[in-house]
Amino acid sequence: MAIIGIDLGTTNSACGVLTEQGIQLIPNRLGEILTPSVVGLDESGKLLVGKTAKERLINHSNTTVAAFKRLMGTDHKIALGKQQFSATELSSLILRALKEDAETFLNEEITEAVISVPAYFNDNQRHATKLAGELAGLKVERLINEPTSAAIAYGLHDKREGHFLILDLGGGTFDVSILEFFDGIMEVHASAGDNFLGGEDFVEAMIDNVLEELGIKKEALKPSERQNLYMQMETAKRRVSQQPEQRLELHLAGRSMEWSVTPEWFEKLSTPLLLRAKRPIERTMRDADLPPQKIDEVVLVGGSTRMAQFRSMVGRMFGRLPACHLDPDTVVAMGAAIQAGLKEKNSALDDIVLTDVCPYTLGTGIVNEDSPQLGSYFMPIVDRNTVVPVSVVRRVWTAADNQTQLCIDVYQGENRLVKKNIYLGELTVPVPKKPKGEEAADIRYTYDMNGLLEVDVTVVSTGKTFNKLIEFTPGALTEVQKAEALEKLSQLKFHPRKDEKNQAVIARGERLYESSLGEQRDYIAKLLSTFDSVLDRQKPTEILKARTEISEIFDRLDNEDWI
């Protein structure tokens, strides 16, 4: 039974499998490799996932959601029509669609997957990702960091040894990793990143500037106007390097106006975000203790690395052009497929050893006797960029006379004060009454390849050990809640695969209709009406021909500047 590799992205997702012939990226129900990470409901309450849902973001924004990956590991709820969903539940719907696509393509049941996560995903977010896989009907024994996944694809692609700097700028996150590939070993030396920096932020910067210049508040826009503006700016961002000027027709707050997009304007808006991107790059270089000249290749991953401004910044930092000969949109899925093949022990792949690192420092709070008003000090137990799996023991002593228990709280972060780090959970253990400092406990943190933390506390005098896998995570579900979530998700019915292409065409036409005016709007309405009539006749050959023709027309309209 095949194990698939999945890139669960903020903007797009993809999956693949390792076969005897090599990596096979799996097409979705529309025949495309990339599935937009968008979920929606149609008028009948049926579930829409991917491109069809994305086309409905403009005129059905109350029943369509996107970019929810940034909320993984939180307890934030997202409205989808009249229902409320967590980011974990919405992600499970994306995974479920990918699972079904893989089963159709491979003609076998899929029960297990390797899923990629940003290297800077914390413990909560990793738990949420595994839970999303479980809700989708997948056993997820292995999570793989996205930069590591990309490096595997590159390292096994050309069989070269050396140091790789992986820069992964996707739709919502930015990851940086330095890896060394030698003698069949892929070793991560350091990683850093920014969970709130991605292509979406460049688009938001464009939108904010346009609205500020026009004196329009974002709250004054209708949801459809806001989404239409987003799509116009997203398109303009992709074209800005190829065109000296783009003139857009905007329809905002009941007004129509023109806006000029130039490379100079975009570069000015991008500068603060590019400066943010430089910080984790420089931090990773320091942590790995490697000068720029020791980096053999700089590898770009993620669709947002196509921006000329980003590539130029990287070129100036390292004095060379970065590598991008593998598709940045699919290279993570390729690496995840290879890792899945490793797990399956596929005979087509020579074994490699993969090492990874803990992206954050993990530790506990200890009494601050110097400045009690500042709160507890942070005592690191596992330092950031320690190779994992790792198991580290630190000893602590009681801080008061006749103390009866020790509260071992678990934090991640880099600040000397625990209140400025991220709380993960706690474990309280009983200790015998003794004078201050005479009773001790050994705290062991065990951090595995999936980025999951186990805490063991052994009371020295009694020899008793108490254990906990961190579970106090926002958005985590009890077994009862998990069963309820599965029941809720099972009631959402996917559109039949055979109807999906037609639904995507209709959704795309509605989006174009919403974006246009006058004669163009009438023309699109006529096209959609004609297509509806063809669908009503239920003749497959006729439907295929009509769908092909209308898709070609929509392709032309999508490339015109009036959208």
The domain locations on the chain are 4-197+271-356, 199-270, 358-460, 497-558
DSSP readout, 424-438?
Answer: EEEEEEE----STTS
Please give the pLDDT value at position 397: 92
Please give the pLDDT value at position 560: 59
Distance of CA 471 to the CA centre of its chain: 22
Report the candidate in 19, 17, 4, 16 with the shortest Cα–Cα distance to residue 112. Answer: 4
- The catalytic position among 123, 146, 201, 514 is 146
Q: Which helix (H) or strand (E) holds 224?
A: helix 223-239
- Given a contact cutoff of 8 angstroms between Cβ atoms, the answer to whether 456 and 467 are in contact is yes
Could you give the dihedral angle defined by the CA atoms of residues 232, 233, 237 and 243, in that order, rounded to the nearest 10 degrees? Answer: 60
Report the candidate in 563, 559, 528 with the shortest Cα–Cα distance to residue 233. Answer: 563
The rounded distance, in Å, linking the Cα atoms of 60 and 230 is 15
- The catalytic position among 89, 101, 168, 234 is 168
358-460 CATH fold: Substrate Binding Domain Of DNAk; Chain A, domain 1 (2.60.34)
Active-site residue flag, 69:
yes
Please give the pLDDT value at position 563: 37
Please give the pLDDT value at position 517: 67
Read off the pTM. Answer: 0.73
- Given a contact cutoff of 8 angstroms between Cβ atoms, the answer to whether 357 and 188 are in contact is yes
Rg (CA), the chain: 26
- The first and second tokens of residue 548, run together, are 């092909």
199-270 CATH fold: Actin; Chain A, domain 4 (3.90.640)
CATH of the domain spanning 4-197+271-356, picked from 1.10.10.10, 3.30.70.260, 3.30.300.30, 3.30.420.40:
3.30.420.40
Active-site residue flag, 43:
no
- The first and second tokens of residue 434, run together, are 């003794």
Q: Which helix (H) or strand (E) holds 274?
A: helix 263-288
Please give the pLDDT value at position 237: 92
- How many C-alpha atoms does 179 have within 13 Å on its Cβ side? 34
How far CA 24 is from CA of 109, 132, 191, 515, 560, in Å, comes to 17, 24, 28, 37, 34
Weakly modelled stretches of the chain, pLDDT under 70: 156-159, 345-355, 449-451, 471-479, 491, 493-498, 514-515, 517, 559-563
- The catalytic position among 69, 99, 468, 501 is 69
The rounded distance, in Å, linking the Cα atoms of 375 and 27 is 53
Please give the pLDDT value at position 341: 87
Please give the pLDDT value at position 472: 45
User: What is the β-pairing status of strands 4-7 and 112-117?
Assistant: parallel
Please give the pLDDT value at position 201: 93
Distance spanning both ends of the chain, measured CA to CA: 46
Dihedral sign, Cα of residue 534, residue 536, residue 540, residue 544: positive
The rounded distance, in Å, linking the Cα atoms of 394 and 361 is 14
